[in-house]
A and B are shown apart, each in its own frame.
Chain A
Amino acid sequence: LAKTTQPISMDSYEGQEVNITCSHNNIATNDYITWYQQFPSQGPRFIIQGYKTKVTNEVASLFIPADRKSSTLSLPRVSLSDTAVYYCLVGATGFQKLVFGTGTRLLVSP
């Protein structure tokens, strides 16, 4: 079971770039890295998924170094609406391996 470690909380200001790093030292060869976002009183929402190097979509970028023991979610130019909890998950086949953890609480201020 690939355990992940994230900062409990982060603070930022509108317009800044935010980078949230997740450690997953015992990631397995077949594991993918997935990030979810959760707003208060809502279910989580998929943000991005990757296996290695860099993945970018319209919302975020995911940077994964060659050893894959960590990953960084990058949110460009955050706004107040990006205030949420961000979860890093690591897993592969056999869904029961996916564990959400407590996530990183991001607070964006004006």
Chain B
Amino acid sequence: DQQVKQNSPSLSVQEGRISILNCDYTNSMFDYFLWYKKYPAEGPTFLISISSIKDKNEDGRFTVFLNKSAKHLSLHIVPSQPGDSAVYFCAASATGNQFYFGTGTSLTVIP
């Protein structure tokens, strides 16, 4: 029973363009959402978070949007850079501790 879903296993984007990664969730109790970036043979690295009291959070090139009514969040990366190529996971929690992760989207930024 996957409570957090990332339906696009992969995404390719040209350098300099916008990357949009999507995530859907089913549990309406989730109130805290994170995006992680993962390189091969490394653990996930925290990227950006958003709580359910907001609908947008921005940090440099990274912006996360939350649509609670649609139970959907997205991560925008602009401009995309080759170093952004990695697997991106979204995660959600109702407690701030037990997080449910999606299956990840592999982003490739083409120079």
Does B bind A?
Answer: no
Residues of chain B whose beta carbon lies under 8 Å from any beta carbon of chain A: none
